[in-house]
Chain A
C-alpha cells in the first residue's frame, strides 16, 4: 500500500503552511476585541514599593489596568515534584499571575494594560509608575546558594536536592577503579525560539458563564485542566481551550503561562475578548528557557577499560519561578538516562535545583536527555583518549550486549530492546571512519585541523507510563486518547489528544488509518487541539505523539474493525469468527463472499439490514492507551569538522546519523525530524547561548546577539536507520522528535576536541564560538611553548 505504514507520503498540511494559509492564534479576531500589553520588570530582583496606575488608567483608549493586588486567582502550578535527599519535599514557592511585592527576573509581569488598540495599551503602560527597591541579582549558578534570598523562606535558593542510584556501590567502584576519569561540563542555557511567538485570545461568554481561550499550546487539555481546576477553581466544562495552528513549540508551549491566564481572567472582568501576542523580545524574556546545568562527572574504569561506575553531581539553574516540569527535567528525565547505552553496574547522581533571578527554565527539545547524553558522551570520549583506545571501539566494548535485553539499568529504567553495534557500524561506514586519518593529514597540508567525533545516545520517549510517572512524582497521567469516527460514506475523522505544531500528524496518523482500514489518505481528516472537539488528551512533547497517541489511534481502529466484522458477518450471512478483513475488504474464509468497508459503514448508519438486537448502530470508537514502559530510541551520530586555527572557525564537513526508532510510519517525516533536531543541537554546540550580565539583564535578547543556526551553518546530513521494533506497543514504534537534538552536541564537541588534540586540547565548552576555539588553540600553543 503506497499510502500506508512505511511510505514517504508528502505532508498533507504543507500546502496550507507553504501558501501562507495557516490559521494561528494571532490570525483570529473576535468582535469587540481589545488588546493587552504587559508591563514587565526591567530589573532582575527588587521589592515593589508602590505601583501607581492612575495616569495609565486615564490614558486614551484604556479599558482597564490591573496589578498583582487585583488578581484573585492562583498562578501557574508545578506539575512534577521530587523528594529531597533528607526526605522533605520540593520547595514550591507561589508564582502569582502578576508580581506581588517582588519581581524575580527581567521580564516578570508587573501590570497589564488593556486598551482598544495595542499601541494605546503600550503608550499607557509607559505611564504606570513602579517604584522598585533593588535587591542583588542572583545569576551565577555555582554561587546561587550564597546569593540574596529570592523566595521567602527558601533556604540557599534551593528548590530541591534529589538523588538516585546507589551511592555506596558507586563510591566503592570509584575507589577500586584502576582509573577514574573526571570532567566538569556546562550545558549552556538556550532560548527555545519557536517561529511563532506565544499568543492568547480569551473570550468570556456571559450567558453561559464560560470562557474560550485560543492559545499557542502543545497541550490544550492540560491548559484547560490547570486553568479551571487549579487557578480559577471553576468547573473544567466552563473553559474551552483551542490551540489552532501552532508554529513550533520545542517544549516552551507545554506550560500555562501567566499571560494567557491573565487575559482569560480579565475577559470576565471587562466582558470583552482580549488578545495578547508576544513580540520577539517578550519571547526571549519569558518563554521558558532550556538546559543550564553544570555537571561534575566521575567515571570508574577497571583494568580492562570496562566501565564499573559513574557518579554525576549536577547543579541545575531553574530561574526565578518553578515552571511546570522544571523539576522533572534535571531529575527523572536526566538522572534515569545516565547509563546511556552502556552496561554500568553502579551509578549515583545528586541533583540540586536552584532559583536564580533569571527567566524560568523548563523542557526544551530533549529535556534532560540531551544534558545526560552530553556529559556521558564527553566523559566516554575523554576516557577513550586517556586509555589510548579508539573512541568507537571504547564505546563498543562498553555497550549493553544485544542478548542482555530487557536490560535493567542502575538508574531505574528497564530498556525493553535494542542493538547498538549495527547503528555504530553503519554510521562509521556512512562517514568512512576507517580512512579518517588520511583526510586529517590532507587537511593539515591546507593548514586546517580536521577531527571526527562520535556520540552514541539513548533516550526515553513515549512519555509516559502513568504508574511510573506517578511513582516518581508526576502529577499527571501519561496516556493518550483517540477516537475514530467512520462517516456513513466511509470517510474517517480521527480525533486525538496529541497536538501537531510541525510534526506532520495529519499525514502520519492518516497513514495508520490507511494501513488498517484500506481507505485512501485523502479520506482521513485529523481533528486536534480543541478541548471541545477531542476527548481529553495529554498533548505533544517528549516524542510521545506516535508512540502513545498513534498507538491509541491504532487501538481505536482495532475496535472499529472488530465491530465492522460483526456488521459484515451479518451482511454476508456468516459467523463473525469466519470474517477476515484485508485491504479494505471483508471476506468469509472458504467462500467467495466479500463486502467492502464502505458498505459496512453505510449499513452502520442506514441499518435497514442490521443486527440491531445485538449491536448498536453507528461506527465510532474511542480508545485510551497508557504505555507499559518508555520507548528507547538509540543510535550513533558521527560529526567531522575542520578547524581554522587562525580564526577558530569550525566548519562541519560531514555528518552521519544512524538511529533506531523502531518501525517507521513515514521515513521522510522521520528524516525531517532528525534534520531539525541536529540543527538545534548544532545551534547549542556552536552558536546559541543565553547570556546574562551580572545584573541579571539578558544581553542576548534579540537575533542581533542570540545566534540561531541558519541553513549555511549546516552540512548535508546523511541519515539512516536501524530497527529493533519496540516490544510493548502495537505499532513497534519508538519516537524520533528529539533524537537529533540529543545526539548531536557531544558529537560536534568531541569532533572539535579530536581535531585539536594533536595540539594538546582536551576540553571545549559550548557554544564553541570562534573565539572560544581560537583561545583554546592559543592556550595550548602557549603551554606547548613553555
Chain B
C-alpha cells in the first residue's frame, strides 16, 4: 500500500471534519474491504479516518423497527438476542457473511456504504424497508442504493445507523459464489401486513434491486406456487465467469421459493 496517515475521530462530526480537511480522506470501519484495496494499491487516500471510537455500535429496539449502529460488527448482529427475536432473518444473514474473522471486523455501515453488488446487507435494507441514518439526514432504502458500488452518500456524509422495519415474517436465502462465498444470488423476502417486499442481491447489473413481479405475486398469495407462476427475466442481470444471466434468473426463482417455504 501507499503510505498514508490515520486519524482517530471521537464522534461523527469530527469524522466529517477530518474528511473535509483532507484531500481524499476515507472512512475506515472494519477495513475488510478497504484494507485489501489499499494493499493492492487500487486506492491512494491521503488520510484514513478511523470511526471505531465514535460510539456508533449497538442494537436498539425502536418498537416497529430495529436500529443498528453503523459500526456494529456482523458477529454482534448475528449473536444479538434482540435481533434474533425481532428479525431472525437479519441475524441469519449477518451470521452467513464471510468467515469468522470477517464477521468480527466487518461492519453494517461499511457493507452498506460500499454497496458491493454481491453483498448481503443491502438486500436486507431494501426488503425490510430500511432507513439509512447519516450525520445529515435519513435516507430511505429505495433512495440510498444507486447502482454498483454507488450510493446516495455525499463526500462529507457518514452513516451513523440503519433502521430495519420488523416484518411479520422474513427469510434471506443466499446461493454463495463457490469461490468468494459472497452472494451469487441472494434473495431477501419480507412479509409485512401491507404486502411483501423481495430484494435481490448478487444478480443485478445495477446492484441490489426489488423484484416487483415477485412482490406482487407473493403479496396476493404467499406461497411457492405463486413464485412458480412468475417468469423471472434475465434482463438486467449480470453474466460473468461464475454464472450467466439465465442461471442467475433461475436462482432468483429458486431462492425465493426456498425463502417463502422456510
Interface residues of chain A, those whose CB is within 8 Å of chain B, are 119, 122-123, 281, 646-647, 687, 691, 699-700, 703-708, 769-771, 774-775
Contacts and interface: CB of A to CB of B under 8 A. Distances in A.
Contact of A647 (B40, B180, B182, B254): B254
Interface string B232-246: 000000000111100
Contacts of A281: 40
Contacts of A699: 241
A687 B241 contact: no
A644 to B, nearest CB: 9
Interface in B170-222: 175, 178-180, 182
A708 B243 CA distance: 17
A123 B1 CA distance: 9
12 contacts: A122-B41, A646-B250, A646-B254, A647-B254, A687-B179, A699-B241, A703-B180, A705-B241, A706-B179, A769-B178, A770-B178, A774-B247
A123 B247 contact: no
Secondary structure call for the B interface: loop
B243 A687 contact: no
A764 B41 CA distance: 40
Nearest to A774: B247
B241 A647 contact: no
B3 interface: yes
B243 A771 contact: yes
A142 to B, nearest CB: 19
A708 B178 CA distance: 9
Contacts of A774: 247, 250
A462 to B, nearest CB: 36
Contacts of B40: 281
B3 A647 contact: no
Secondary structure call for the A interface: loop
A687 B178 contact: yes
B2 interface: yes
B2 A123 contact: yes
Contacts of B250: 646-647, 774
B251 interface: yes
Contact of B175 (A647, A704, A705, A769): A647
A705 B242 CA distance: 8
B1 to A, nearest CB: 8
B32 to A, nearest CB: 13
B104 to A, nearest CB: 19
Sorting the interface of chain B by its residue count into under 10, 10 to 19, 20 to 34 or 35 or more gives: 10 to 19
Given A707-B179, A769-B178, A691 B241 contact: yes
A774 B254 CA distance: 12
Interface centre among A123, A687, A691, A769 (most CB of B within 10 A): A769
Interface of B: 1-3, 40-41, 175, 178-180, 182, 241-244, 247, 250-251, 254
B178 A704 contact: no
Contacts of A707: 178-179
A123 B242 CA distance: 33
A162 to B, nearest CB: 33
Given A647-B175, A769-B178, 18 more contacts: A119-B2, A646-B250, A646-B254, A647-B250, A647-B251, A687-B178, A699-B241, A700-B241, A703-B180, A704-B179, A704-B180, A705-B241, A705-B242, A706-B179, A769-B242, A771-B244, A774-B247, A774-B250
Nearest to A688: B179
A769 B254 CA distance: 17
A699 B41 CA distance: 18
A687 B180 CA distance: 12
Interface centre among B2, B182, B241 (most CB of A within 10 A): B241
Contacts of B243: 771
A350 to B, nearest CB: 32
B41 A705 contact: no
Nearest to B244: A771
Contacts of B182: 704
A392 to B, nearest CB: 31
A687 B41 CA distance: 29
A140 to B, nearest CB: 16
Contacts of B254: 646-647
A122 to B, nearest CB: 7
Contact of A771 (B2, B179, B247): B247
A703 B182 CA distance: 12
B57 to A, nearest CB: 28
B3 to A, nearest CB: 7
Contacts of A771: 242-244, 247
Given A771-B244, A771-B247, A774-B250, A705 B3 contact: no
Contacts of B251: 647
A122 B2 CA distance: 9
A699 B40 CA distance: 16
Contacts of A704: 179-180, 182
Nearest to B180: A704
Nearest to B251: A647
A704 B180 CA distance: 4
B238 to A, nearest CB: 13
A122 B41 CA distance: 10
B245 to A, nearest CB: 11
A775 B41 CA distance: 39
A278 B103 CA distance: 28
Contact of A703 (B2, B3, B179): B179
Nearest to A700: B241
A705 B182 CA distance: 11
B85 to A, nearest CB: 29
Contacts of A708: 179
Nearest to A771: B247
Nearest to B184: A770
Contacts of A769: 178, 242
Given A122-B41, A123-B2, A774-B250, A705 B179 contact: yes
